[in-house]
Chain A
């Protein structure tokens, strides 16, 4: 009887049969096509060749620790920094509960940048070839360039004292902490979850399609359509352009994580919003509010089709109104450009 046969063995033997070689014409076509296909650059520094050797990895880790300590102690004054008050400690987490969560309202109009024009921005990256890697830790108040890679798009923003940079996000009071706040940066999104809590179940269902490779508009629309999000109406919100005429088109929406949601009830304990490359945007916890700003960096004479920047400003239960106001000021100061 078939039932008594080794079905696994039969299936394995059956799978052994068949072609294994990639046809030469496919290989040639791919290698030809990539010459005309730009890579989607990330908004964080890619691994360098040096960083993947053990020695360099250890050296970089040590150097980063030293750098964090020095920056934290404010012993590394920079001649490029904007003058301002010394760094202050992050405020203690608030225990005021959910009701104190400020509302970040997307605004179609940008307020003037608080960045004095006479100052020179400070790069958040160490000079090329340095083993130090990212500048990280507590940032002195000032204007910074979050450099893209290969001299592609960059984002410039101004932060007040008390904000921390960890290599790809700004935070104050701790990411996901009551009373904290954070601003995350993502590159081109690849997929928006249809159901952020039951994302795995949806992905496993062949009858439901997630939103793949979205444009700015379809990204924001899909995000606003996620269940349990209590989304605001998406609004136009361009980003100022630096060194180029005009502004980058963008859309913004404010979404929330239900305050009574238990993350344990979600697939793998994660409330997932979208994926971008190997990055997964999982929200930190109940009561979180995210102002999500998607900016289309295509055009303006810069030919790099499909470049999208996602800025996600998150506040958590108990985030002080003053910190929320700082977020709005940081967002308003943001400019994207193409400079070396």
Chain B
């Protein structure tokens, strides 16, 4: 299930605010309920930003611990969603930096997998997207994931990331240009298209 199916939209009363307030006051049971409510969504987003299950788990764990430590400093419990995604993206930054020391770059060689006439069903497409996405910075990846995976409007992405809407827009354009270029590179190199 997609996080946006369970989390309406950032900044709205999508979570029980009393749960947040109880956790703010150190109630571990309430925090456990919060983890159950948001844990899957955070991990799914972390995985899509970092493209590595292990790094995503570490980032999610780090984000949840930061949420616990700093929860009393959250003034408006109804902003919990946006605030928690911001902390998650910060954790992804930290994990991303850590992973830069060793970054496996396996990719599927073109030629063995058929491409479809259109749409997205090709393994080669996936591989090209994967490589194109990994070339993006965490900043750009976060915008793509929050907007195209969580379906957040740009202003809510901006709130979650703590940057201006204009910055979000330009990052999204830059990221999509990069992904389009990756797919176009695929189109230029696949044997099927070369034969046409």
Q: Which residues of A contact B (CB under 8 A)?
A: 1-3, 5-23, 26-27, 29-31, 33-35, 37-42, 44, 46-49, 52, 149-150, 187-188, 190, 200, 203-204, 206, 212, 267-268, 276-279
Indicate whether B55 reaches chain A with its CB closer than 8 angstroms.
no
Structural contact, A149 and B72, CB atoms closer than 8 A:
yes
* CB closest chain-B residue, reference A17: B126
CA A188 to CA B31, docked complex, whole Å: 21
- Residue pairs across A and B with Cβ atoms less than 8 A apart, 10 shown, are A6-B119, A14-B120, A16-B149, A26-B57, A26-B61, A27-B36, A39-B72, A52-B18, A200-B164, A200-B167
Structural contact, B24 and A278, CB atoms closer than 8 A:
no
* CB closest chain-A residue, reference B179: A11
Structural contact, B183 and A5, CB atoms closer than 8 A:
yes
Contacts of B44 in A (CB 8 A): 18-21
Most-contacted residue by chain B among A10, A212, A267 (CB, 10 A): A10
- List 17 other contacts, CB 8 Å, given A19-B44, A46-B72, A47-B76: A1-B187, A18-B44, A19-B43, A20-B40, A22-B60, A26-B57, A33-B65, A39-B70, A39-B71, A39-B72, A40-B70, A40-B72, A47-B21, A52-B21, A190-B70, A200-B163, A200-B167
Structural contact, A206 and B137, CB atoms closer than 8 A:
yes
* CB closest chain-A residue, reference B118: A5
Indicate whether B81 reaches chain A with its CB closer than 8 angstroms.
no
* CB closest chain-A residue, reference B24: A46
Q: How far is the CB of A113 from chain B (nearest CB, A)?
A: 29
Structural contact, B144 and A11, CB atoms closer than 8 A:
yes
Structural contact, B1 and A30, CB atoms closer than 8 A:
no
In the complex, chain B residues 30-83 whose Cβ is within 8 Å of any chain A Cβ: 31-32, 35-36, 39-44, 47-48, 53, 56-57, 60-61, 64-65, 68-77, 79, 83
Indicate whether B176 reaches chain A with its CB closer than 8 angstroms.
yes
Q: How far is the CB of B16 from chain A (nearest CB, A)?
A: 10
| Contact of A47 with B24 at beta-carbon distance under 8 Å, contacts A7-B176, A15-B148, A278-B73 already known | yes
Structural contact, B43 and A21, CB atoms closer than 8 A:
yes
* CB closest chain-A residue, reference B122: A10
Q: Which residues of B contact A (CB under 8 A)?
A: 1-3, 17-18, 21-22, 24-26, 28, 31-32, 35-36, 39-44, 47-48, 53, 56-57, 60-61, 64-65, 68-77, 79, 83, 90, 118-120, 125-126, 129, 137-139, 144-145, 148-149, 162-164, 167, 171, 176, 179-180, 183-184, 186-187
Most-contacted residue by chain B among A16, A22, A44, A187 (CB, 10 A): A22
Q: How far is the CB of B163 from chain A (nearest CB, A)?
A: 6
Contacts of A23 in B (CB 8 A): 43, 57
Contacts of B18 in A (CB 8 A): 49, 52
* CB closest chain-B residue, reference A34: B68
| Contact of A18 with B47 at beta-carbon distance under 8 Å, contacts A26-B57, A42-B73 already known | yes
CA A89 to CA B159, docked complex, whole Å: 39
List the 5 shortest-distance A-B pairs measured between CB atoms, nearest first.
A277-B73, A22-B39, A2-B187, A20-B44, A22-B43
Contacts of A30 in B (CB 8 A): 35, 61, 64-65, 68
CA A46 to CA B18, docked complex, whole Å: 12
Structural contact, A13 and B43, CB atoms closer than 8 A:
no
Contacts of B32 in A (CB 8 A): 31
CA A281 to CA B167, docked complex, whole Å: 21
Structural contact, B25 and A26, CB atoms closer than 8 A:
no
Q: How far is the CB of B27 from chain A (nearest CB, A)?
A: 10
Structural contact, A278 and B3, CB atoms closer than 8 A:
no
Structural contact, A278 and B83, CB atoms closer than 8 A:
yes
Structural contact, A278 and B184, CB atoms closer than 8 A:
no
Contacts of A39 in B (CB 8 A): 24, 26, 68-72
